[in-house]
């Protein structure tokens, strides 16, 4: 149930001392082939970390045989020196893998690099590079769970997923908690599959999957500098699914991981699904859902178990979506507290004692719909994010 | 030092029982002329409270002789019944003022109405209308401070301001704490002047003033349904300043009130000025300032006295402003912790022990600049907004 569930992949997670806690902080995923297909989706933030700039080039090259990931430092806003560190990490990984398995003959340009942690500090390369060598030695067909452990930062638990095709499989791991954001939650995610698929098919499947999963979770509206989602294909199953079949399985794995990310968001006490229906178009539905998901007043109200639909309506009102203010209905956990833009059922009927909250917004402007997932804004979020780097 | 400082205005603030606390909750400002000029700026939220819809029409009519304001209820999302309540409030105010001073002969169409408080509940008209009569009886030339008291909600103190012209004056009052937002902080503000000024001049002066004051404070990115800023002109000084003179005085009064609003924002422990310089245009500077002002991770870091410039850079990176990521400099309280998009001076030199924080961002993309003001995100913000309606 991890990145090593599909055939053709090995992985490892080791501790190199990047984290003061001594917890695992270097992960390695290797694609033993026969194929080395790859697709990637990256942060839309214009301030991109060095590993993002590197890995975009590597993915553009079309062949990725290994992904090396570190927690304990984002290597973002680190200037030319930071980019050299990423390059050195890729070269060192390629050399160590080649030394361990000479038939691989890896080049640095086939190694993707991902980093996560504090922004603005150089990585301790004296610890990182020996850690890469340890990871190479630790590689195994059962190493997926250890890799998922090693990429955690403020995550309280590792995130793994798997989706089954007919004779082929998609596996995945992800990290991220807080800073989950627009146009990619802040996160690292590596997906693997033993399906046979060309680069266009992999790219189409990954983009379609991200669009309705990671792109629709929005924990705190803050977009990271390091978001990376990679899909590696080994072809080891010998089976070539259709693009639709591959998309469905990748989407299932991404959905599973996205829900795990939101469930583990920093300090959250509520897991909130915002279903927007009756929209004139899907873009409108997403815009409305995202506006509500990012509204601090809505999020604090839900933390306080308060079905404050007025704040929801005020958030809807800031969008450019097609709707008439006096035609909007809002339900919280199934109780239609607002009909036609005004109070309807008694808000005291709303049960907010559980962790799951569903907000349903009917714009009465069409037939399109979308769901955006978020969490509440709690004391623990403030605490965790005011104390993170100090 | 209030709305009754300029000649030609009377005001009052009384308790009508709309607030459970028994505090004052109805304010009245009357323009005794000779002129009755008005300009108004309103929330950009498409979900507009009944009093906003009403007052937009009244201001469009060009004559406003009285403004009646209530706290203890926003009268937003209250349907056609809510609009009738606003209409009835204006009619009742006009009738009571006419009865008290028959020469006034006021019509409802000359009475602006503002409301603030919880969204989604009808106002208790049985209390509000007798309160209006009490306010008419309490009107006085020294009633400005009482009016400013009566419009408070979660404000901890009233906000008054005055700006002097040559032989004429601008006075003002405002309320707002939290929900301070884009394109108007959530707030009610009434400005008065005894200058002689035509409608175009009043409108131009008010819009120019709001653009660089209220539009640039952003407490929590949440836009209200009730934002209203009104400027009333009595002409009682007999002096007609130039548009530039009037604009300067109105801007000074608005700036003073805006700073008071940010200083009193819900739960804030820091008052933060974000100076963006070196921008290609003023719009770019404002976009960058606003993006940083709204970023929960920046705001929680500052609450924790953490000069986390990486989060600032990540917020800048989400904008469409012209800049190169490796050319941005960031200073926190005068220490240039980031130069050229990477770490520079030691962050430990930054003193964040005080309440005032200045973030300076140099985009190195041009000569334009702008300042956006905000506050931090604290435990108290979460507490206040999770407990507000319950």
User: Domain total for chain A?
Assistant: 2
**Nearest Cα to A291, choosing from A374, A369, A366?**
A374
Same domain, A257 and A280: no
Same domain, A132 and A276: no
The per-residue pLDDT for A187 is 84
Annotated catalytic residue within B89, B93, B169, B186: B186
A169 catalytically annotated: no
Each residue of B333-379: pLDDT tens digit? Answer: 999 999 999 999 999 999 999 999 999 999 999 999 999 999 888 88
Residue A116 lies in a domain: yes
Across the interface, do A119 and B313 touch by the CB < 8 Å criterion? Answer: yes
Measure B338 CA to nearest chain A CA, in Å: 9
CB contact B98 to A (< 8 Å): no
The per-residue pLDDT for B381 is 77
The per-residue pLDDT for B177 is 61
In angstroms, the CA B312 to CA B299 distance is 10
Same domain, B236 and B304: no
Residue B33: band (very low, low, confident or very high) from pLDDT cuts 50, 70, 90: very high
CB contact B74 to A (< 8 Å): yes
Chain A CB contacts of B81 under 8 Å are: 342
- Examine the pLDDT at B118 and tell me if it is beyond 80: yes
The per-residue pLDDT for B390 is 38
Same domain, B200 and B312: no
Chain A CB contacts of B311 under 8 Å are: 119, 222
Across the interface, do A342 and B314 touch by the CB < 8 Å criterion? Answer: no
Across the interface, do B48 and A300 touch by the CB < 8 Å criterion? Answer: no
CB contact B78 to A (< 8 Å): yes
In angstroms, the CA B50 to CA B293 distance is 30
Across the interface, do A382 and B382 touch by the CB < 8 Å criterion? Answer: yes
Residue B157 lies in a domain: yes
Residue pairs between chains A and B whose CB atoms are closer than 8 Å: 206
In angstroms, the CA B256 to CA B253 distance is 5
In angstroms, the CA A210 to CA A226 distance is 16
Residue A1 lies in a domain: no
Same domain, A278 and A199: no
- Give yes or no for a contact between A366 and A322, defined as CB atoms under 8 angstroms apart: yes
Measure A230 CA to nearest chain B CA, in Å: 22
- Examine the pLDDT at B250 and tell me if it is beyond 60: yes
Each residue of B97-108: pLDDT tens digit? Answer: 999 988 888 999
B-chain residue closest to A226, CA distance: B314
CB contact A375 to B (< 8 Å): no
Q: Which residues of B are annotated as a binding site for substrate?
A: 153, 175, 186, 266, 385, 390
The per-residue pLDDT for B294 is 86
Each residue of A307-364: pLDDT tens digit? Answer: 999 889 989 998 999 999 999 999 999 999 999 999 999 999 999 999 999 999 999 9
Across the interface, do B77 and A45 touch by the CB < 8 Å criterion? Answer: no
The per-residue pLDDT for A177 is 61
Q: For the sheet containing B329-332, what is the strand order?
A: B342-343, B335-339, B329-332, B356-362, B271-279, B368-375
Residue B1: band (very low, low, confident or very high) from pLDDT cuts 50, 70, 90: confident
Give the residue numbers spanning the domain of B360: 271-387
Residues 167-226 of A with CB under 8 A from B: 178-179, 182, 220-225
Domain boundary pick from A214, A232, A263: A263
Same domain, B134 and B278: no
Q: What percent of chain B has pLDDT over 90?
A: 76
In angstroms, the CA A345 to CA A51 distance is 52
Residue A4 lies in a domain: no
Q: Where are the alpha helices (DSSP H) in chain A?
A: 50-61, 79-100, 125-138, 144-150, 199-212, 243-263, 282-293, 296-303, 309-316, 379-387
Domain boundary pick from A212, A236, A263: A263
Chain A CB contacts of B341 under 8 Å are: 47, 77, 79
Q: At what angle do helices A199-212 and A243-263 cross, to 10 degrees?
A: 40
The per-residue pLDDT for A265 is 78
CB contact B330 to A (< 8 Å): no
Residues 106-145 of A with CB under 8 A from B: 118-122
Residue A3 lies in a domain: no
The per-residue pLDDT for B44 is 83
In angstroms, the CA A175 to CA A172 distance is 11
- Mean pLDDT across chain B, nearest whole number? 92
Strand partners for B116: B73
Question: Which of helix, strand or coil describes residue A368?
Answer: strand
DSSP 8-state code for residue B193:
E
CB contact B348 to A (< 8 Å): no
Same domain, B206 and B352: no
Across the interface, do B325 and A47 touch by the CB < 8 Å criterion? Answer: yes
B166: phi then psi, degrees, rounded to nearest 5? -90, 90
- Give yes or no for a contact between B165 and B241, defined as CB atoms under 8 angstroms apart: yes
CB contact A325 to B (< 8 Å): yes
B56: phi then psi, degrees, rounded to nearest 5? -60, -40
Residue A145 lies in a domain: yes
Residue B159 lies in a domain: yes
Same domain, B288 and B154: no
CB contact B357 to A (< 8 Å): no
Same domain, B363 and B326: yes
Residues 233-292 of B with CB under 8 A from A: none
Name residues whose C-beta falls within 8 Å of residue A21's C-beta, 6 or more positions apart in sequence: none
Name residues whose C-beta falls within 8 Å of residue B207's C-beta, 6 or more positions apart in sequence: B39, B41
Each residue of B177-235: pLDDT tens digit? Answer: 644 443 334 689 999 999 999 999 999 999 999 988 988 887 666 678 888 999 999 99
Same domain, B116 and B189: yes
Please list the ranges in chain A whose pLDDT falls under 50: 178-185, 388-390
The CA dihedral of A336, A341, A347, A353, to the nearest 10 degrees, is 70
A390 is in an annotated binding site: yes
A282 is in an annotated binding site: no
Domain boundary pick from B218, B243, B263: B263
Measure B49 CA to nearest chain A CA, in Å: 10
Chain B CB contacts of A314 under 8 Å are: 45, 47, 76, 119, 222-225
CATH number for A164: 3.60.70.12
- Give yes or no for a contact between A163 and A175, defined as CB atoms under 8 angstroms apart: no
Across the interface, do A77 and B382 touch by the CB < 8 Å criterion? Answer: no
Annotated catalytic residue within A169, A186, A201, A371: A186
Q: If you compute the radius of gyration of chain A from its CA atoms, what whole number of angstroms results?
A: 22
Strand partners for A37: A233
Selected for mutation to probe chain A from B219, B298, B300 (highest A CB count within 10 Å) is B300
Same domain, B44 and B192: yes
B-chain residue closest to A387, CA distance: B304
Across the interface, do B317 and A221 touch by the CB < 8 Å criterion? Answer: no
Same domain, A36 and A167: yes
CATH number for B335: 3.10.20.340
* HEC profile of B322-378: CCCHHHCEEEECCEEEEECCEECCCHHHCCCCCCEEEEEEECCCCCEEEEEEEECCC
DSSP 8-state code for residue B224:
P
Chain B CB contacts of A342 under 8 Å are: 77-79, 81-82, 120
Residue B1 lies in a domain: no
The CA dihedral of B124, B129, B130, B136, to the nearest 10 degrees, is 140
- Give yes or no for a contact between A43 and A225, defined as CB atoms under 8 angstroms apart: yes
Cross-chain CB nearest to A310 (options B48, B119, B381)? B119
CB contact A46 to B (< 8 Å): yes
């Amino acid at each position: 149930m991890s990145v090593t569930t599909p055939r053709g992949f090995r992985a490892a997670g080791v501790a190199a001392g990047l984290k003061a806690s001594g917890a695992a902080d270097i992960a390695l995923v290797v694609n033993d082939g026969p194929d080395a297909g790859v697709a990637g989706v990256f942060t839309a933030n214009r301030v991109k970390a060095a590993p993002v700039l590197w890995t975009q080039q590597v993915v553009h090259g079309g062949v990725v045989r290994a992904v090396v990931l570190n927690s304990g430092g984002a290597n973002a806003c680190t200037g030319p020196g930071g980019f050299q560190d990423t390059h050195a990490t890729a070269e060192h990984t390629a050399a160590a893998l080649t030394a361990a398995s000479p038939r691989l003959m890896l080049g640095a340009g086939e190694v993707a690099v991902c980093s996560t942690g504090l922004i603005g500090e150089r990585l301790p390369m004296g610890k990182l590079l020996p850690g890469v060598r340890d990871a190479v030695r630790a590689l195994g067909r059962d190493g997926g769970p250890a890799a998922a452990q090693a990429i955690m930062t403020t995550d309280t638990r590792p995130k793994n997923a798997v989706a089954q095709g007919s004779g082929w499989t998609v596996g995945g791991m992800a990290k991220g908690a807080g800073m989950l954001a627009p146009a990619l939650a802040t996160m690292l995610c590596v997906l693997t599959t033993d399906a046979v698929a060309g680069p266009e098919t992999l790219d189409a499947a990954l983009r379609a999957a991200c669009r309705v999963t990671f792109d629709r979770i929005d924990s705190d509206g803050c977009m990271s500098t390091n978001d990376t989602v990679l899909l590696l294909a080994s072809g080891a199953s010998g089976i070539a699914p259709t693009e639709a079949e591959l998309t469905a399985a990748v989407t299932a794995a991404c959905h599973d991981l996205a829900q795990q990310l939101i469930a583990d968001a920093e300090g959250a006490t509520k897991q909130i699904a915002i279903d927007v229906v009756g929209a004139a178009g899907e873009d409108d539905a997403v815009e409305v859902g995202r506006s509500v998901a990012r509204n601090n007043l809505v999020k604090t109200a839900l933390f306080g178990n308060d079905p404050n639909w007025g704040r929801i309506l005020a958030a809807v009102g800031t969008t450019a979506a097609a709707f008439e203010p006096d035609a909007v209905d809002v339900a919280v956990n199934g109780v239609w507290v607002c009909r036609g833009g005004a109070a309807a059922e008694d808000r005291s009927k709303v049960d907010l004692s559980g962790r799951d909250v569903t907000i349903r917004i009917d714009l009465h402007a069409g037939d399109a719909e979308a769901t955006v997932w978020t969490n509440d804004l709690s004391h623990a979020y403030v605490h965790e994010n005011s104390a993170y780097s100090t």
